[in-house]
């Protein structure tokens, strides 16, 4: 557990890097991309594969999402310099290590979805 030297949990400062990181990995598309990549063999997934696997994502969003993931060292990017070019993505070790925490959250959501729906219904 990290607590900063001032005595305040630094997670609660708006400009805390860890909080920003959390915002990013909590992102819908980010977590989804990590899951898709985790389910396939590293370096075998093409841009268009990802698009197909992520219904509703736009061309642009996927591009941006992958860029951020690559910039953070979570995914690898390999360009085959063919014509037309194809690009393959895969998780790094770091990226793979993120899949577990995300899975825990997904499982919680799946496990409690019904209960929550029911509760919403009651208080409609």
Helix (H) or strand (E) holding 91: strand 86-91
Q: Residues 115, 57, 88, 37: what is their CA dihedral angle, to the nearest 10 degrees?
A: 0
Q: Are 63 and 91 in contact (CB under 8 A)?
A: no
Compare residues 1 and 79 and give the one whose CB is closer to DNA: 79
Compare residues 44 and 117 and give the one whose CB is closer to DNA: 44
Tell me the H-state helices in the chain. 17-25, 28-38, 47-53, 59-71, 93-122
* Interface residue with DNA, options 77, 92, 99, 102 (CB under 7 A): 77
Would you count residue 97 as binding a second copy (CB under 8 A)? Answer: yes
* Interface residue with a second copy, options 41, 59, 60, 71 (CB under 8 A): 71
- With CB under 7 A, what is the number of residues at the site for DNA? 19
29-58 binders of a second copy (CB under 8 A):
31-32, 35, 53-56
Query: Using CB distances below 5 to 8 A depending on partner kind, what does residue 123 bind out of a second copy, DNA, none?
Result: a second copy
Q: Are 35 and 104 in contact (CB under 8 A)?
A: no
- Give bridge partners of residue 45 from the DSSP assignment: 89
Least distance from DNA to the Cβ atom of residue 27, Å = 7
Segment interacting with a second copy (CB under 8 A) among 8-16, 43-51, 58-66, 83-91:
8-16
């Amino acid at each position: 557990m990290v607590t900063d030297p001032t005595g305040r949990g630094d997670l609660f400062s708006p400009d805390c890097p860890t909080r920003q990181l959390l915002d990013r990995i909590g992102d819908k598309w980010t977590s989804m991309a990590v899951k898709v990549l985790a389910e396939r063999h590293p370096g075998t997934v093409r841009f268009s594969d990802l698009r197909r696997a992520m219904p509703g994502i736009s061309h642009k969003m996927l591009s941006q999402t992958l860029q951020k993931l690559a910039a953070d060292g979570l995914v690898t990017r390999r360009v085959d310099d063919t014509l037309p070019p194809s690009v393959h993505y895969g998780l790094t070790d770091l990226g793979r290590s993120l899949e577990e925490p995300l899975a825990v959250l997904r499982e919680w959501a799946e496990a409690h979805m019904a209960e929550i729906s029911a509760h919403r219904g009651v208080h409609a």
